[in-house]
């Protein structure tokens, strides 16, 4: 199975159960999570996430608000399906954000 092949629903469910805070959207093929950070930390974290996103050639949807940073992931090149590529980026996002969340606590 390739990085951009759609994952079966049961595999998506199994993988999400192993991740804190990541959920599947009920009405579309995407996974998402919201991180609570102050605005300026969110901007810095967002910049740091862009390097691995670019390396993976993945384009997450991002919503930056006053105290939240929200990521929504779907693989557009797979017809807006959840793929291994999404979970690879989840791992990278978690690695990057861990430094900011620890620093904020």
DSSP characters over 25-60:
-TTSS-EEEEEE--HHHHHHHHHHHHHHHHHHT---
Walk me through the domains of the chain, giving residue ranges and CATH numbers: 9-99 (3.30.1360.20)
Q: Token digits for 73? A: 């992931």
What does the radius of gyration of the chain's CA atoms come to, in whole angstroms?
A: 13
Residue 1's pLDDT band (cuts 50, 70, 90): confident
pLDDT average, residue stretch 44-66: 96
Kindly tell me if the per-residue pLDDT of 76 is higher than 70: yes
Q: Token digits for 24? A: 């599947």
Query: Which residues fall within 8 angstroms of residue 5, CB to CB, at 6 or more apart?
Result: 78, 83, 84
The structure's pTM equals 0.93
Kindly tell me if the per-residue pLDDT of 10 is higher than 60: yes
Which has the higher per-residue pLDDT, 105 or 25?
A: 25
């Amino acid at each position: 199975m390739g990085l951009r092949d759609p994952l079966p629903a049961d595999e998506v469910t199994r993988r999400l159960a192993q991740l804190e805070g990541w959920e599947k959207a009920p009405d579309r093929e995407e996974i998402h999570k919201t991180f609570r950070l102050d605005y300026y930390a969110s901007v810095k974290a967002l910049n740091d996430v862009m390097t691995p996103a670019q390396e993976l050639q993945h384009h997450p949807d991002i919503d930056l608000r006053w105290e939240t940073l929200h990521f929504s992931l779907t693989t557009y090149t797979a017809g807006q399906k959840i793929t291994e590529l999404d979970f690879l980026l989840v791992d990278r996002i978690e690695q990057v954000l861990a430094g900011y969340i620890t620093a904020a606590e």
